[in-house]
Structure 1
Amino acid sequence: MNFRKPTPIQQAAIPVILERQDLIACAQTGTGKTAAYVLPLLDKISHARHDHTSTLVLVPTRELAKQIDDQIAGFAYFVPATSIAIYGGNKGESWDQQKKAITSGADIIIATPGRLIAHMNMGYVKFDKLDYLVLDEADKMLDMGFMPDLLRIVSQLPTKRQTLMFSATMPPKIRDLARKILKEPTEINLAISKPAEGIDQRMYLTYDKQKPKLLEHLLKDISVQSMIIFTSRKSAVNDIVRILQKMGHKAEGITSDRTQDEREATLQGFRNRQFQILVATDIMSRGIDIDNISHILNYDVPQDAEDYIHRIGRTARAATTGTAITFINEKDQGRVARIERLIEREIPKLDNPEEVGPGPAFEPSKHREGKPRSKSRSNSKPKTNPSAAKSTERPTRKPADASAQVDSKPNLENGEDRPKKPYNPKRRNNKQRRPKPSDQAQSSETAATTPPIESAEE
């Protein structure tokens, strides 16, 4: 497979894993993290000859589960080890295949948390002899709201195991999770590397309504071999695809709404150069390895500065060159400032071409995010325990278990701008009912001794 020498994360992680120590490793996507844990674990499995499932790898997306399974098949070509990817969104017969692999004891199971929980609910999943647990792209799993599922899965595993956690970033919530499931871990922190030197980064200041025309102008001027257009909203994917197709470009979109077969067919078509442009949400920014992508275009600025690095890291891989273009509207300018602080460089801001028209001025201080809400609005929300979390199960009227809570960001891919406000029934207006004529005399007698009933609105 043309592996000649280890990458930095492989060189640091493999000896730690071979010594059976727990590990928490922070390294950017595309740095060889998969081989960093698969190679030493395959070495252990090949010598131990387990008669049970020895390794569980948890990942955030179906595409990443499938890709890791394919990579394990390549690494284990001469090794007596079996693996299977467990994920949803596919045909019914795949459930039976997954059930058979789980019950027969495949050596390595690569799973998305939600699908694995579905199998666990059926009662035939037995991990009582599990030796190794790997959490890959752990920060992304927490961002997607998988904390309750992760804790539930971990609670079903033996306490005597080796646990490996790989993450592209190291926010406080990752360290909180590590403290709960790892034992005296070795920490490797390569941090987020800066974008590859071969990436030509540029940004355009443009209003939302100007973006289609600016996109059309750019595609006329640049030579695109293959391009990924990223958007934070899955609802925008089909709109962008239609715009491109009207321009005469071959383009397809990929979102979490598509079935797994459709997503795999789209990815395969893009790899085979059946179409030039792929429009996707951030599910494509993590761990998906596609060669020779010449251009990345951010139709909007990602919410997290780290995601910008993951997005543009799809190009200029393996010491090649590429171009990363980002459209900035007036509301996204504060995010750009955070990106520039993270990568420690200023990215050129270009004006729109004359035929597109002038865009907004770059004034990030006027468009900062996180402004405090008004007092009346903030007071209308009930106080909640920050450690409490919405359950992934069907909602009930019972209070959620505080241990299952997660403080996660809104899932922009699913089109949610903010968490939904809890149901707050309207208070009735308890104004005093007018007395009947027959009761007039009685009410006048008691008026002096009876206190007035105040309106609920007061």
Structure 2
Amino acid sequence: MNYLKASPIQEMAIPIILEGKDLIASAQTGTGKTAAYLIPLLDLIIRSRNEHITALILVPTRELAKQIDEQIEGFSYFIRATSLAIYGGGKGENWDQQRKALVDGADIIIATPGRLLAHMKSGDVKFDDLKCLVLDEADKMLDMGFSDDILYVIKHLPVNRQNLMFSATMPQKIRDFANKILRNPEEIKLAVSKPAVGIDQQFFLAADHQKLPLLIHLLKDKKDLTIIIFSSQKSMINQIIRALGKVKIMARGISSDNSQEEREEYLRGFKNKNFNILVATDVLSRGIDINNLNLVINYDVPRDAEDYIHRIGRTARAETTGTSFTFINEKDQRKIASIEKLLEREVEKQNITESLGLGPAPEYSVEKRSFKKPFKKKFFGKKPAPKP
């Protein structure tokens, strides 16, 4: 697997997990959180050899479930540990395959909460020998509204088990949730909510109608790079792909509108370098590990600063370098203030649309980004009589 040296999160987490303690850990995306819990879990499995499920890993998306399943396959090549990813979508026979694994017992189950809940409510799911529960990307699962599903699952697990919670961010709602699940946990907190130092972040001012021609200009000499373009709007995915296709730049798109088979096919083709550009919504902003990703483009500014960190965190993983471009229109300028606050620095805003013959870009205004409504005095009782 080409792991030559433990990352800080691995170095700190693995001994705690091996001791059987509960753990809550946060570290920026791309630092190796998955291996930090998988390696000691596999050690537990080869020592215990349960007949039924030993570890349950809950994750927010099917893409992350599949990726973890693939990593387990690599890590456990010589120890014969079994695992299965359980998620919605796909063909009907997937349900029967998933159900068989839950009933007969794979060593590790990786599941999205909703799909696992459906299986549990249909009966016969066995967690009698479960030794460890892992919540991966816990903050994202709570953002997606999975808290009730997770608590339902936990009620049906053995009381005596190890609990591990991994998250890229640690807001108060995560701590409150952890208090319901973890018992006297150890805590690891590393560089929360900061992008990797190897990312060259560049901001470009552009009105909506200027974004596509600006994108095409920036990609002219980058056709051979591995690139993800993020859009917050599903409706823009196909428009971006068509515009790139007109200048003979091949790209594929992934959003929640795609079938599971399409999403898997495109992600596999992208990882195998069958094409270099993937256009996606935030479905790919968390946990998806793609080697040697050179460039991340935010076609629009993401909803909040945390989403920005996760998007650009797809590049410069594992101490490599990468680049991110972010397009800023007039209405998104207010979001930049919170991003720069998180970065603890200002990023230069480039204005190149006019030099490209696209007309002037929106002017970046500090007033617009920190706009506050003027305070109006309120009078109580009778207003004073007007002066003569």
TM-score, length of structure 1 as denominator length: 0.78
Note if 1:113 corresponds to 2:110: no
Instruction: Flag the 1:164–1:371 CA change in 2: closer, same or farther, 3 A.
Output: farther
Note if 1:85 corresponds to 2:85: yes
Q: 2:360 aligns with which of 353, 358, 361?
A: 358
Q: Determine the structure 2 residue equivalent to 1:42.
A: 42
Q: Determine the structure 1 residue equivalent to 2:283.
A: 283
Q: Which amino acid aligns with 2:71?
A: Q
Q: Determine the structure 1 residue equivalent to 2:247.
A: 247
SS in 1 for 2:331: helix
> How far 1:371 sits from its partner (Å)?
7.8
Is residue 50–residue 129 contact of structure 2 (8 Å, CA) maintained in 1?
no
Cα-to-partner distance string for 1:75-127 (whole Å, 9 max, x where unaligned): 11122421110011111111111111111011110000111111112112122
Instruction: Flag the 1:302–1:364 CA change in 2: closer, same or farther, 3 A.
Output: farther
Is residue 231–residue 298 contact of structure 1 (8 Å, CA) maintained in 2?
yes
Q: Distance in 1 between matches of 2:118 and 2:266?
A: 26
Q: Percent identity?
A: 63
Q: Please give the residue correspondences for 1:263-274 in structure 2 after superposition, counting only pairs within 5 Å.
A: 263-274=263-274
Please report the RMSD computed on the Cα atoms of aligned residues, expressed in angstroms.
Answer: 1.8
Q: Please give the residue correspondences for 1:55-94 in structure 2 after superposition, counting only pairs within 5 Å.
A: 55-94=55-94
Note if 1:25 corresponds to 2:17: no
Cα-to-partner distance string for 1:32-56 (whole Å, 9 max, x where unaligned): 1111111111111111111111110
Q: Distance in 2 between matches of 1:356 and 1:195?
A: 31
Q: Determine the structure 1 residue equivalent to 2:306.
A: 306
Is residue 31–residue 318 contact of structure 2 (8 Å, CA) maintained in 1?
no
Is residue 27–residue 33 contact of structure 2 (8 Å, CA) maintained in 1?
yes
> How many residues end up aligned between the 2 structures?
372
Cα-to-partner distance string for 1:288-340 (whole Å, 9 max, x where unaligned): 11122221110011112122122112223344332211000112112111111
SS in 1 for 2:158: coil
Q: Determine the structure 2 residue equivalent to 1:261.
A: 261
> How far 1:151 sits from its partner (Å)?
1.2
Q: Which amino acid aligns with 2:256?
A: S
SS in 1 for 2:317: coil
Instruction: Flag the 1:250–1:204 CA change in 2: closer, same or farther, 3 A.
Output: same
TM-score, length of structure 2 as denominator length: 0.91
Q: Distance in 2 between matches of 1:152 and 1:318?
A: 35
Q: Determine the structure 2 residue equivalent to 1:52.
A: 52
Q: Distance in 2 between matches of 1:350 and 1:271?
A: 31
Instruction: Flag the 1:364–1:264 CA change in 2: closer, same or farther, 3 A.
Output: farther
SS in 2 for 1:252: strand
Q: Determine the structure 2 residue equivalent to 1:405.
A: none
Q: Distance in 2 between matches of 1:117 and 1:57?
A: 13
Q: Please give the residue correspondences for 1:155-174 in structure 2 after superposition, counting only pairs within 5 Å.
A: 155-174=155-174
Is residue 55–residue 131 contact of structure 2 (8 Å, CA) maintained in 1?
yes
SS in 2 for 1:331: coil
Q: Determine the structure 1 residue equivalent to 2:297.
A: 297
SS in 1 for 2:332: helix
Cα-to-partner distance string for 1:404-452 (whole Å, 9 max, x where unaligned): xxxxxxxxxxxxxxxxxxxxxxxxxxxxxxxxxxxxxxxxxxxxxxxxx
Of 76-85 and 180-189, more deviation after overlay is shown by: 76-85
Q: Distance in 1 between matches of 2:345 and 2:158?
A: 47
Instruction: Flag the 1:287–1:80 CA change in 2: closer, same or farther, 3 A.
Output: same
> How far 1:143 sits from its partner (Å)?
1.0
Is residue 25–residue 187 contact of structure 1 (8 Å, CA) maintained in 2?
yes
Which one has the largest radius of gyration?
Answer: 1
Instruction: Flag the 1:274–1:83 CA change in 2: closer, same or farther, 3 A.
Output: same
Q: Distance in 1 between matches of 2:120 and 2:373?
A: 43
> How far 1:171 sits from its partner (Å)?
0.8
Q: Determine the structure 2 residue equivalent to 1:100.
A: 100
Q: Distance in 1 between matches of 2:97 and 2:372?
A: 47
Is residue 333–residue 368 contact of structure 1 (8 Å, CA) maintained in 2?
no
Is residue 335–residue 369 contact of structure 2 (8 Å, CA) maintained in 1?
no
SS in 1 for 2:64: helix
Cα-to-partner distance string for 1:201-253 (whole Å, 9 max, x where unaligned): 11111111211121122222545412110011223222222222223210110
Q: Distance in 1 between matches of 2:28 and 2:330?
A: 29
SS in 1 for 2:24: strand
Q: Determine the structure 1 residue equivalent to 2:212.
A: 212
> How far 1:128 sits from its partner (Å)?
3.2
Is residue 270–residue 278 contact of structure 1 (8 Å, CA) maintained in 2?
yes
SS in 2 for 1:330: coil
Instruction: Flag the 1:90–1:293 CA change in 2: closer, same or farther, 3 A.
Output: same
Is residue 224–residue 295 contact of structure 1 (8 Å, CA) maintained in 2?
no
Instruction: Flag the 1:369–1:112 CA change in 2: closer, same or farther, 3 A.
Output: farther
Q: Which amino acid aligns with 1:131?
A: K
Unpaired runs of at least 5, structure 1:
373-458
Is residue 50–residue 107 contact of structure 1 (8 Å, CA) maintained in 2?
yes
Q: Distance in 2 between matches of 1:46 and 1:340?
A: 46
> How far 1:277 sits from its partner (Å)?
1.2
Q: Distance in 1 between matches of 2:200 and 2:223?
A: 14
Q: Please give the residue correspondences for 1:172-183 in structure 2 after superposition, counting only pairs within 5 Å.
A: 172-183=172-183
Note if 1:189 corresponds to 2:189: yes
Is residue 201–residue 348 contact of structure 1 (8 Å, CA) maintained in 2?
no
Q: Which amino acid aligns with 1:198?
A: G
Is residue 168–residue 193 contact of structure 2 (8 Å, CA) maintained in 1?
no
Higher relative CO (Cα under 8 Å, sequence separation at least 6) belongs to: 2
